[in-house]
Chain A
Amino acid sequence: MSARPDADFQTRLQNLLPKLVLSPSLALIFFFVYGFILFTIYVSFTDSRILPFVGNGGVPAYDLIGFSNYQKLFSLSHWEIALTNMAIFAGLYIVICSALGLMLAIFLDQKIRGEGVLRPLYLYPMALSFIVTGTAWKWFLDPAIGLENIVQTWGWTSFTFDWIKNRDFAIYTVVLAAVWQSSGFVMAMFLAGLRGIDNEILKAAQMDGASNWNLYRRIIIPQLRPAFLSAFVILAHLAIKTFDLVIAMTGGGPGRATELPATFMYSYTFSRNQMGIGASSAVIMLMTIAAIMIPYLYAELREKK
């Protein structure tokens, strides 16, 4: 009889155990992710300039100032440049990566000899740090020692390519490096999609006399819709998060020509000590990503159920 409460405790423990095991992770996520998001939103409504806990003996003593930070943010030319650059960068990055990825995937899907060699070559940039590849591109595109200089020493002395130093074109060099880094990944996503298409349908269409072009246009590419969606979501979220690459290649310059929201947030928060502005720009970034990711994740998780 005395063993009973003990056994009871045992089963209750066993029943509780799964939740107990999950709870540390949940606690971390709730505190460090969702708690922090709320805190940053709070900071974005205050006039804080310094880190909480550091300068004022443990108590954040800010004044709430409503939406002033957001008003100020959207009146800053610096932020406007960051947003314009984001639009140019994200637009080109997503379109070029998708087009290039699709083309390479279709080409690689033609029973290519040496696919096993080519595929890893297209994909390895994804394994490298943006700081590493940014450094390589920075010096390769530098007019003094890189491409311009190389072509000139080859004999074409009037050749100029100074985009990375040119305010009007520097952002396109960042696009180039970013496309180089992630297009192989998009290729892999499309290739997986292509390999999942039922060959019987293709054969039937071919019997009916469909040309290769029509086969791709009418049957294959429409079937890649899920791959397009995934590629779009992944690329859009990578674009919004782009930070290291700009820091390594241009540092946001020349002038402010390659500032993006991520570099803007960083410099306002840590170099200029404008926490409130920095926080409000981070909130805008989060909202943009949430608008893309939440519907996508919601659909994905529902599908699996």
Chain B
Amino acid sequence: MAVSSTDTAIRTGRVTRTLIYLVLVLFALFYLLPLYVMMVNSLKPLPEITGGGMMSLPQIWTIEPWLKAWSTAQIGVEPTGLRPYFWNSISMVVPAVAISTILGALNGYVLTKWRFRFDTILFGLMLFACFIPFQIVLIPMAAVLGFLGLAGSTAGLVLVHVVYGLGFSTLYFRNYYAVFPTELVRAAQIDGASFFQIFWRILLPSSGPIAVVCVIWQFTNIWNDFLFGASFASGEGAPMTVALNNLVQSSTGVKEYNVHFAGAILAALPTLLVYIVAGRYFVRGLMAGSVKG
């Protein structure tokens, strides 16, 4: 998005321009504020925060809160730090993203190049599934996960995220393949290429950009999920977001704000890194998520 328009007709005076810059910079500061607060306070000793110095840079720099949040802070009843939950999240996100992306690519391929009756309706049903309030599936999902013996497990969460991520991954690939020349597919078909050969040799090699968009979107969404994690895996198998919430909300002992902030950054780090490295693709996914393909 955001290809610079070649020649804007709007002309603005000097004063107006200065004001515009001022507003834009002020808002940049507003958006940066929570990140700044988290950063500086995760690097200072607790008394500096409680003494009214939340906005100042640390007088004594320390990485102690980070170490504590990572490996010794009390999460629930165990003083394990966030580390095991970080790995829970990783082992949940990687398979869930991989499976939902592969299925999405195949679905997109079928829905655009092998059209059949009712395919648009079926796609509409898949698409609506992206937007349902997930509260509507919590009760039966809890029952089914219990029935399958997957309650509280990472495998259970992988299943949940694959199912509810399918709509979006299908949407991305469908919109992308819709503009891919169908003649190429038909030509290959006449030459005797099979269903999978066409997918593998013709569509997949040019799917790089949309695969990146899809992977980033699914990664961000699944990593940041809280509702499913809290509903189905609140104990040892909890993902990072749930563990962070447990850390921050724990009512026992002194509130260690610096540890909370360090934990928050730890939970934000993976998606923040992805955003910094591939923000362009993240925004594309976001825009496609507003359905306009």
Contacts from A to B (Cβ < 8 Å): 14, 17-19, 21-22, 24-26, 28-30, 32-37, 39-40, 43, 51-54, 58, 103-104, 107-112, 115, 118-133, 135-140, 144-146, 149-150, 152-153, 180, 184-185, 188-189, 191-192, 194-195, 199, 202-203, 205-206, 212, 215, 226, 230-231, 233-234, 237, 240-241, 243-244, 247-248, 251, 261-262, 265-266, 269-270, 275, 278-279, 281-283, 285-286, 289-290, 293-294, 296-298, 300-301, 304-305
Contacts and interface: CB of A to CB of B under 8 A. Distances in A.
Contacts of B136: 36-37, 40, 282-283, 285-286
Q: Which 10 A-B pairs have the closest CB atoms?
A: A153-B52, A18-B114, A202-B9, A129-B224, A136-B34, A127-B275, A282-B135, A244-B226, A36-B137, A36-B140
Contact of A281 (B135, B227, B290): B135
Given A25-B166, A195-B5, A305-B120, A230 B291 contact: yes
Contacts of B231: 266, 270
Main secondary structure on A side of the interface with B:
helix
Contacts of A275: 139
Contacts of A150: 52, 54-55
Interface string B221-245: 0011011001100000000010011
Contact of B120 (A37, A283, A301): A301
14 contacts: A22-B111, A25-B107, A51-B146, A107-B20, A125-B34, A126-B282, A127-B220, A130-B224, A145-B257, A192-B1, A202-B10, A243-B227, A244-B241, A289-B133
B283 A199 contact: no
A132 B261 CA distance: 9
B132 A37 contact: yes
Contacts of B274: 127
B124 interface: yes
Nearest to A32: B163
A118 B111 CA distance: 38
A128 B272 contact: yes
Give the interface centre of B5, B111, B114, B125 by most chain A CB atoms within 10 Å: B5
Nearest to A26: B122
B200 interface: no
A107 B23 contact: yes
Nearest to B243: A131
Interface in B147-165: 147, 162-164
A289 B226 CA distance: 20
Interface string B245-262: 100110000000100110
B204 interface: no
A93 to B, nearest CB: 16
A51 B9 CA distance: 62
Contacts of B195: 14, 17-18, 21
Contacts of B128: 290, 293-294, 297
Contact of B133 (A17, A127, A146, A282): A282
B123 interface: yes
Given A282-B135, A286-B132, A140 B34 contact: yes
A138 to B, nearest CB: 7
B14 interface: no
B139 A180 contact: no
B207 interface: no
Nearest to B268: A132
Contact of A131 (B10, B106, B267): B267
Given A29-B126, A104-B27, A140-B34, A24 B7 contact: no
A135 B248 contact: yes
Contact of B49 (A32, A145, A240): A145
A251 B249 contact: yes
Nearest to A188: B283
Given A107-B20, A188-B286, A203-B9, 14 more contacts: A18-B116, A30-B125, A43-B139, A51-B142, A107-B23, A110-B20, A128-B268, A129-B268, A135-B248, A202-B8, A244-B241, A289-B131, A304-B178, A305-B120
Nearest to A281: B135
A270 B272 CA distance: 32
Contacts of A279: 139
B59 interface: no
A116 to B, nearest CB: 9
B286 A285 contact: no
B87 interface: no
Contacts of B123: 301
A131 B244 contact: yes
B271 interface: yes
B138 interface: yes
B124 A297 contact: yes
| B133, B178, B195, B282, most chain A CB atoms within 10 A | B133
B50 interface: yes
B146 A53 contact: yes
B224 A54 contact: no
Most buried by A among B9, B127, B263, B289: B9
Contacts of B34: 125, 133, 136-137, 140, 180
